Amino acid sequence: MRYAYFPGCSLGATASDYDLSLRAVCRALDIELVEVRDWVCCGASSAHATSHLLSIAMPVLSLSHAEADGFERLIAPCLACLSRFKAANREMQEDPTVREKIHRAFDYQYRATVKVYHPLEVMMEEGMVGKIRSRVRKKLSGLKVACYYGCVLTRPPKVAQFDICEDPQSMDSVIRALGGESLDWSYKTECCGVSMTLTRSDIVLKLSSDILRAAKELGADAIAVCCPLCQANLDSRQIQIEEKYGVHYGIPIIYFTQLMGLAFGAFPRELGLEKLITSPRTALEVCGLM
Amino acid sequence: MELTERSGRLPRRLQRITGENVMLCYQCRKCTLGCPSAYAMRLKPHELMRALQLGLEDQVLWSGTMWICLSCETCNTRCPQDINIVSLIDGLRTYYFDWEYYNPVRELPMMHRLFLKLVRRFGRVYELGLVLILNLKMLNPLKDIDLALPMFLRGKLKLFPHRSEGVKELRTVMSRLEAMEDER
């Protein structure tokens, strides 16, 4: 299957490991990724705080490139991009006033025919879990994983239209297909606070600390994530959190694609595992994965 | 439902901008109970809704609640009246964007303005530039300096911006949208 690929700004820099591992996993599963031509930033949380039309126009620009190049499906691995894209598509389909204004601003008339997917949505397509299971060479036996989905993968359900809103299961079923143990917990969709990471870090530290504490109490070896922004908060800021709250967590925050790649037999370096700030070595060595 | 003359200026203005009707709120507090940043708000989400219904513009502004919201969509998902609270808050942010004197958390609109300025320049986010300039503007130049080295050593911090070829088109679209918004 061929998909347009919108990496988003994070995957070029702070989340280059997510990019590496996603590409490796897609190769292994015969999913072809073609980067969207001349894509631009989705506008994330800044565009919708300043102008509603701009928050639609920025995703539409990249989506229209994918549409003009003949793609019907697009993968966006970052939750901020994903939710902006889904919201833009929905408004373009349902709100004639917005559509008319956006069409006036663009030379190309976007028809909202490009369906937007998160990598997890692709993994949940029919027959994919079986395919994942068949590619596993090294099982994640004994690895206890807390799956953390982040805020807007399933919210709001009207726009996201994926998984069970308050208790998602998709990443858990991927981890189970890899032979790992996925833990049940109540912080799956709690917000990590990323939209204030540069301004009010105090809020971010509290929210991320709550998530880490819950995972620690659960006895998790690692937290699996599916968004570069959650990863950056929980991983890079873990030292600051430990310092502020006087506790030691040491929980590695691993992209679910990195875990998939490991189980498929890829080398840790191919998946960017050495780029994680909280080292996953101890957790993965116990299960013989590293 | 269209709001009438009796419901006051602020609720009607918000309905015009966002299409949402604040009068539908009956104070069940589900929004506040699920809100991850409610603890940091002077007016909790349900109190903000009440203040909006009553047209208490000053309190809405001074509380800064509209800027403390993380847009995590929990309240939207759970509201029994199906009010799009995030969209209401975005409407407030857009409308009061430049009212800096009344804003207790000025760094947020400052961040959004800078973010979009850099995106307009390069087409993509220039993370290091954004952090450095913002820290200077917040008079806290060494904020998060402890994160810089570990990230840089792992190749996660790019020193120079990446320019997208799509930036010219983006600038054209942004200028056209601004012209359209000025028309109104």
Residues B64, B33: one domain? yes
Average pLDDT, chain A: 95
Q: What is the pTM of this model?
A: 0.95
Handedness of CA A166, A167, A171, A174 (dihedral sign): negative
Interface A:B, Cβ pairs < 8 A: 177
Among the candidates B53, B82, B101, a domain finishes at: B101
Residue A210 DSSP class:
H
Give the confidence band of B184 by pLDDT, cuts at 50, 70, 90: low
CA distance A54 to chain B (A): 7
Q: What value does the mean pLDDT take over residues A217-240?
A: 95
Give the confidence band of B8 by pLDDT, cuts at 50, 70, 90: confident
Domain hosting A203: range is: 137-286
Predicted complex ipTM: 0.93
Judge whether A132 lies within some domain. no
Q: What value does the mean pLDDT take over residues B26-44?
A: 97
Residues A196, A109: one domain? no
Beta carbons of B165 and A38 less than 8 Å apart: yes
Residues B114, B97: one domain? no
Give the confidence band of B4 by pLDDT, cuts at 50, 70, 90: low
Residues A209, A143: one domain? yes
CA distance A208 to chain B (A): 11
Contacts of A285 (CB under 8 A, 6+ apart): none
Largest CA distance in chain B: 61
**In one letter, which amino acid is A110?**
Y
Chain B residue nearest residue A278, CA to CA: B150
On whether the CB atoms of residues B137 and A198 are closer than 8 A, the answer is: no
Gap between the Cα atoms of A13 and B159, Å rounded: 10
Query: Residue A216: how many CA atoms within 13 Å on its side-chain side?
Result: 14
Among the candidates B101, B123, B141, a domain finishes at: B101
**In one letter, which amino acid is A139?**
K
Q: Which chain B residues are within 8 Å of A164, Cβ to Cβ?
A: none
Please report, for the domain that includes residue B63, its CATH number. Answer: 1.10.1060.10
Residues A269, A146: one domain? yes
Beta carbons of A151 and B76 less than 8 Å apart: no
Q: What value does the mean pLDDT take over residues A268-279?
A: 94
Q: What value does the mean pLDDT take over residues B147-158?
A: 89
Which of A36, A39, A50 is most worth mutating to test chain B (most B CB atoms within 10 A of its CB)?
A: A50
Gap between the Cα atoms of A146 and A143, Å rounded: 10
On whether the CB atoms of residues A78 and A62 are closer than 8 A, the answer is: no
Residues A28, A147: one domain? no
Looking at the partner chain, which of A16, A53, A105 has a beta carbon nearest the beta carbon of B156?
Answer: A16
Average pLDDT, chain B: 93
Chain B residue nearest residue A233, CA to CA: B147
Which of B78, B119, B132 is most worth mutating to test chain A (most A CB atoms within 10 A of its CB)?
A: B119
Among the candidates A119, A145, A166, a domain finishes at: A119
Residues B114, B162: one domain? yes
Gap between the Cα atoms of B144 and A241, Å rounded: 12
Residues A271, A223: one domain? yes
Residue A101: CB atoms within 10 A of its CB come to 18
Q: Residue by residue, what is the 3-state secondary structure of A53-92?
A: HHHHHHHHHHHHHHHHCCCCEEECCCHHHHHHHHHHHHHH
Q: Which chain A residues are within 8 Å of B176, Cβ to Cβ?
A: 104-105
**In one letter, which amino acid is A199?**
T
On whether the CB atoms of residues A228 and A10 are closer than 8 A, the answer is: yes
Residue B5 in this model has a pLDDT that exceeds 90:
no
Give the confidence band of A138 by pLDDT, cuts at 50, 70, 90: very high
Residues A160, A189: one domain? yes
Q: Which chain B residues are within 8 Å of A148, Cβ to Cβ?
A: none
Handedness of CA A103, A108, A111, A117 (dihedral sign): negative
Residues B114, B83: one domain? no
Q: Which chain B residues are within 8 Å of A166, Cβ to Cβ?
A: 77
- Angle (nearest 5°) at CA B60 between B57 and B65: 160
Output the pLDDT for position B2. Answer: 66
CA distance A14 to chain B (A): 4
Beta carbons of A275 and B155 less than 8 Å apart: yes
Gap between the Cα atoms of A175 and A182, Å rounded: 6
Residues A142, A277: one domain? yes
Give the confidence band of B37 by pLDDT, cuts at 50, 70, 90: very high
Give the confidence band of B109 by pLDDT, cuts at 50, 70, 90: very high
CA distance A133 to chain B (A): 31
Residues A142, A262: one domain? yes
Output the pLDDT for position A224. Answer: 97
Residue B6 in this model has a pLDDT that exceeds 90:
no
Domain hosting B153: range is: 107-183
Residue B182 in this model has a pLDDT that exceeds 90:
no
Among the candidates A85, A119, A153, a domain finishes at: A119
On whether the CB atoms of residues A187 and A216 are closer than 8 A, the answer is: no
